[in-house]
C-alpha cells in the first residue's frame, strides 16, 4: 500500500481515500475479487463509493502495474495484486477455488518459446483447470 501511494504520486496521480481503500481491500482479501465484490466490501467503509470509481481505479492500478486482471471461465474479471513474484493459477471447475503456484520451469520455457518465434515476451498467463480433491470425491459420489 505504501508502494501504491508511491506509485500514484510518482505518476502525478492523486491519492484519494477511495483509491487507498480499494487498494487495501485487494491486498487484504488476498486477491481474485471481482469488481462488484470489491465494491460491496468497500462500501462497508465508504457507503457512497460508486462502482464506476471502482472500475476507474482498477484501470488505473492496472496501468501502474500494481494490479492484474484475471479472466477465468466466468462472465466477469477478477483482480489481484501484482508483485514481483510471478505466479499462475490452478482453478477448480467444481467449486471455483483458485490456488496460486509458482513455476520456475514455466518461466524459462516461455522465454525460450518467445525467442523461437521472435517474440519479446512481456508476460504470461497459465491456468490449469481441473477438480480439487473435495470436488473429485463429490463427483465420484454421484
Partner DNA sequence: TTATATGCAAACAATTTGCATCCTG
Partner DNA sequence: CAGGATGCAAATTGTTTGCATATAA
Q: Catalog residues that contact DNA under the rule CB under 7 A.
A: 9, 13-19, 34-36, 46, 48-53, 55-57, 59, 75-77
Contact 78, 85 (CB under 8 A): no
Give the residue, chosen from 16, 71, 95, 138, that forms a contact with its own copies under the rule CB under 8 A: 71
Residue in 117, 138, 141, 142 binding its own copies, rule: CB under 8 A? 117
Binding residues for its own copies restricted to 1-40, rule: CB under 8 A:
none
Rounded least distance, CB 8 to DNA, Å: 7
Reduced to 3 states, what is the DSSP secondary structure of residue 63?
helix
* Joined grid coordinates for residue 133: 480433491
User: CB–CB of 79/20 below 8 Å?
Assistant: no
The owner of cell 517474440 is 119
Q: In angstroms, rounded to a whole number, what is the distance separating the alpha carbons of residues 36 and 115?
A: 39
DSSP 83: -
Which span sits near its own copies by CB under 8 A: 9-17, 18-26, 39-47, 92-100?
Answer: 92-100
Q: How far is the CB of 102 from its own copies (least distance, A)?
A: 10
Beta bridge partners of 90: 99, 128
Closer to its own copies by Cβ: residue 41 or 103:
103
Amino acid at each position: 500500500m505504501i508502494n501504491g501511494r508511491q506509485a500514484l504520486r510518482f505518476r502525478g496521480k492523486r491519492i484519494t481515500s477511495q483509491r487507498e481503500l480499494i487498494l487495501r481491500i485487494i491486498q487484504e482479501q488476498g486477491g481474485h475479487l471481482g469488481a462488484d465484490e470489491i465494491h460491496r466490501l468497500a462500501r462497508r467503509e465508504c457507503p457512497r463509493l460508486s462502482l464506476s470509481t471502482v472500475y476507474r481505479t482498477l484501470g488505473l492500478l492496472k496501468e501502474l502495474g500494481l494490479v492484474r486482471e484475471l479472466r477465468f471461465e466466468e462472465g466477469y474479471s477478477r483482480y489481484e495484486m501484482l508483485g514481483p513474484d510471478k505466479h499462475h493459477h490452478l482453478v477448480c471447475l467444481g467449486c471455483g477455488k483458485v490456488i496460486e503456484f509458482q513455476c520456475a520451469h514455466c518461466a524459462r520455457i516461455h522465454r525460450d518459446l518467445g525467442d523461437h518465434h521472435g517474440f519479446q515476451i512481456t508476460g504470461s498467463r497459465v491456468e490449469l483447470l481441473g477438480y480439487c480433491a473435495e470436488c473429485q470425491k463429490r463427483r465420484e459420489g454421484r
